[in-house]
Chain A
């Protein structure tokens, strides 16, 4: 079953600009996570936000969660070439597994 859906599917911006990607989900959650995947590599955990949190920061990353709209956004400020990757959100639909979106492919142009 697929719950998280990222938007946009692809995003191309100039280095130094901010990148925003969104994730929507369908049912109530306890937490939502964001991961990054470089091409052909494994996923790396970026940040986890709980349902009672509205905003969380980690370095150049800012994640917001709006449980009333069942949506989350990931903002990457002052983008760099190394930020080029796919970004996935994952929600906890059940007690035993995460449900993943299809991802946003981010390209940072030099």
Chain B
């Protein structure tokens, strides 16, 4: 079945550590996105990529980094510079960039100890 796989589902990090969240899709979609979700709030865009080897900052990119070396993969690194990293992180993809239908993974919950 086609879809988006995020891993790990739960991750605990000590302050000062970088962590990388994995996102893989087999939908052959060009565009991929990373969102952050905090309780009681809507999704906020961290980074997005419309094509391999290219990505753009979203509204809250500070303290995060991404790469897009393969069409299928869009990993997100939460660096120690992110002041409040505890959140639910969602990866999504769409057939092409823009504002069409998004397909989401199941999310990764990061907790900083």
Check A96 against B97 for contact (C-beta < 8 Å). Answer: yes
Query: How many A-B pairs with Cβ below 8 Å?
Result: 62
Which of B's residues lie within 8 Å of A, judged by CB? 4, 6, 33, 40-45, 48, 50, 56, 58-59, 88, 90, 92, 97-107, 109
Which of A's residues lie within 8 Å of B, judged by CB? 1-2, 4, 9, 30-31, 33, 35, 40-45, 48, 88, 90, 92, 94-103
Check A42 against B104 for contact (C-beta < 8 Å). Answer: yes
Check B42 against A103 for contact (C-beta < 8 Å). Answer: yes
A39: min CB distance to chain B, Å: 11
Check B106 against A41 for contact (C-beta < 8 Å). Answer: yes
CA distance A46 to B101 in the complex (A): 9
Check B106 against A42 for contact (C-beta < 8 Å). Answer: yes
Determine the residue in chain A with the shortest Cβ distance to B103: A45
Check B102 against A101 for contact (C-beta < 8 Å). Answer: no
A-B contact pairs, 15 of them (CB 8 A): A2-B42, A30-B99, A31-B99, A41-B106, A42-B6, A42-B90, A43-B90, A45-B101, A45-B103, A88-B43, A94-B99, A97-B58, A98-B43, A98-B99, A100-B44
Determine the residue in chain A with the shortest Cβ distance to B59: A1
Check A43 against B104 for contact (C-beta < 8 Å). Answer: yes
Check A97 against B99 for contact (C-beta < 8 Å). Answer: yes
Check A100 against B105 for contact (C-beta < 8 Å). Answer: no
Q: Which residues of B contact A43 (CB under 8 A)?
A: 43, 90, 92, 102, 104
Known contacts A96-B48, A96-B50, A101-B42; 13 additional CB pairs below 8 A are A1-B59, A40-B109, A41-B106, A42-B4, A45-B101, A45-B103, A48-B100, A88-B43, A96-B56, A96-B98, A97-B33, A98-B43, A98-B99
A37: min CB distance to chain B, Å: 8
CA distance A92 to B94 in the complex (A): 14
CA distance A9 to B40 in the complex (A): 9
B11: min CB distance to chain A, Å: 14
CA distance A42 to B108 in the complex (A): 9
Q: Which residues of A contact B58 (CB under 8 A)?
A: 97
CA distance A90 to B97 in the complex (A): 15
Q: Which residues of B contact A35 (CB under 8 A)?
A: 102
